[in-house]
Amino acid sequence: MDSLALVGMISIVTAGLTIAFGSIGPALGQGRAVSQALSSIAQQPDEANTITRTLFVGLAMIESTAIYCFVVTMILIFANPFWNYFLP
């Protein structure tokens, strides 16, 4: 196996692990945030607008972690910076 194939194989495995582990954390965080927000709205229905607005900002911040992992995965698959070191 030549070094170019090895770099490709390692990049694909790394991309898969990045998207797998990078999406588990945000998914659990979003589930917990929504659960707590619904619990808070059930306890204080008058503050539903404030809680909902804060929830959406928090969900956007949590989701940015998964988006960063997705971007790293796409870079590793389609624009791998390591190819240049092994091309003839």
CA angle 11, 84, 8 (to 5 degrees): 20
Specify whether the CB–CB gap between 5 and 81 falls below 8 A.
Answer: no
Question: Does the structure show a pLDDT above 90 at 87?
Answer: no
Question: Does the structure show a pLDDT above 90 at 28?
Answer: yes
Specify whether the CB–CB gap between 19 and 77 falls below 8 A.
Answer: no
Confidence tier at 39 by pLDDT (50, 70, 90): very high
Residue (of 61, 62, 53) closest to 23 by Cα position:
62
For range 24-42, the mean pLDDT: 95
The per-residue pLDDT for range 44-74, each reduced to its tens digit, is: 999 999 999 999 999 999 999 999 999 999 9
pLDDT, residue 81, reads 85
Which residue matches tokens 């790293």?
A: 72
